[in-house]
Amino acid sequence: MPEEGDRRKRIPDDWLTLEGDDREKVTRKGPVTLTPKLLKPRVEKLERRLAELEIELKQVKDHAGKLEAELSQTGHKTSELRREPPHSAHPQLPEAEEDTAEVEEPTETEETGPTPLDAELERTAVSAAYTGQLTLENPDMSAATTDVAISAENFHRCATVLDAVQMDYPMVHMAPSWAPLDLTNSPPDWWMEQGWMGAGATRSAAEIIDLARYAPEVAEEAGLRCEAMPVTRARQSFARLLTKFLKTRVDAVLERDKAQPPGGGGTLRLPGLEVTVHTERSGLLVYYAPLYFPATRLVFGGTRSTPVRGYLPPGIYIFGAEGRDFQLSFEAAPWQIPPYYTVTMLRA
């Protein structure tokens, strides 16, 4: 007679994933090969869940389309999506929690209230948060915001998946508010070691759910405070912060347009502005993250400090660094590019 321990060893590792009669067969007869007959019920269950997700996604898109139509007709600001009144002379730059005394602030300008362009950018940001589509009427502006359009699509997909399975969205603290974490570009270290496909890869629903589960740990390890919040709150924050980010991008495009000679050709696409990052330590790898949708694994420059030079499209960013004896850490102070082209990290 075989020992009890030997009998247990003959049961396949995936016995716990089997159910009902399938598990009984394994228990009585020992190891069995997983045949299409055994797998079929599980495949059908997954297919039904996928169909349900597709239906829910269509409902979300229909609702977002109605919302956009209402916004276009009224032209009014959506008070539900604007919780923060301007709190300083520079509403586009959230005030950093620390190091504010050591980071220069832009020259103050007079507040003149929202302009028609501001209203258009707000409507565009709201639409992007709820539909994943960034639509700007000016083709030159659209060309200059390609990276933002990709981020909006990425965020909307992640938010829709998490909402469908009733999971909260991981948010990181961008003082004084919160921003949704870019899950696709914030994988855990061990995931990267096991063949992570890199930036820009499309994630399956299962991968998005896993990334959301690991997000608090990933964010904390990068020095970012993280809390899970309802998906609705994530969409609102995304829209609000994206409005500020777009304002910086569009203003830079307009300034470049003014600087061109009359009748001169040229493009307004702004592939990137040259930026230099200084760190206190040498040999560090530098990372950047857009303020409205921060990630932990977007490498800046591709070389090690110090300094590191690279290109970034106009916007508001935070920066982090890591090295052999220095754990990845982001600094809370945001940098608006332009007017600043030199970034000094104070703790790296």
**Using alpha carbons only, what angle is made at residue 39 by residues 36 and 40, rounded to the nearest 5 degrees?**
80
The predicted pLDDT at position 212 comes to 96
Q: Is 227 helix (H, G, I), strand (E, B) or coil?
A: strand
Tokens matching residue 34? 């997983």
The predicted pLDDT at position 270 comes to 52
Q: Is 173 helix (H, G, I), strand (E, B) or coil?
A: strand
Model confidence at 345, pLDDT cuts 50, 70, 90, reads: very high
Q: What is the pLDDT of residues 156-201, one digit of tens each?
A: 999 999 999 999 999 999 988 999 999 999 999 887 666 665 555 6
The predicted pLDDT at position 260 comes to 63
Q: What are phi and psi of 277, to 5 degrees?
A: -115, 125
The predicted pLDDT at position 48 comes to 73
DSSP string, 278-311: E-SSSSPEEEEEETTS--S--EEEEEESSSEEEE
Q: Is 242 helix (H, G, I), strand (E, B) or coil?
A: helix
Q: How far apart are CA 187 and CA 211, in angstroms?
A: 6
The region of weakest confidence among 115-124, 193-202, 264-273 is 264-273
Q: How far apart are CA 236 and CA 80, in angstroms?
A: 8
Nearest CA to 66 among 148, 136, 130, 160?
Answer: 130
Which residues have C-beta within 8 Å of that of residue 231, sequence separation ≥ 6? 159, 162, 163, 168, 169
Q: Is 180 helix (H, G, I), strand (E, B) or coil?
A: strand
Nearest CA to 292 among 329, 248, 346, 328?
Answer: 248
| Model pTM score | 0.66
Nearest CA to 317 among 279, 343, 282, 284?
Answer: 343
Q: Is 27 helix (H, G, I), strand (E, B) or coil?
A: helix
Q: Is 242 exposed, middle or buried (0-12, 13-18, 19+ CB in 10 A)?
A: buried
Model confidence at 15, pLDDT cuts 50, 70, 90, reads: very low
Q: How far apart are CA 312 and CA 144, in angstroms?
A: 12
- For a pLDDT cut of 70, what percent of the chain falls above it? 66
Torsion sign over Cα 212, 216, 217, 220 = positive
The predicted pLDDT at position 84 comes to 41
- For the chain, the maximum distance between any two Cα atoms, rounded to a whole number of angstroms, is 95
The region of weakest confidence among 148-152, 260-264, 334-338 is 260-264
Strands (E), 91-250: 169-174, 177-180, 226-229
Q: Is 328 helix (H, G, I), strand (E, B) or coil?
A: strand
Taking the mean position of all CA atoms in its chain, how far away is CA 193? 21
Q: What is the pLDDT of residues 195-230, one digit of tens each?
A: 665 555 678 899 999 999 999 999 999 999 999 999
CB-based burial, 73-90: b 16+ in 10 Å, e otherwise: eeeeeeeebeeeeeeeeb
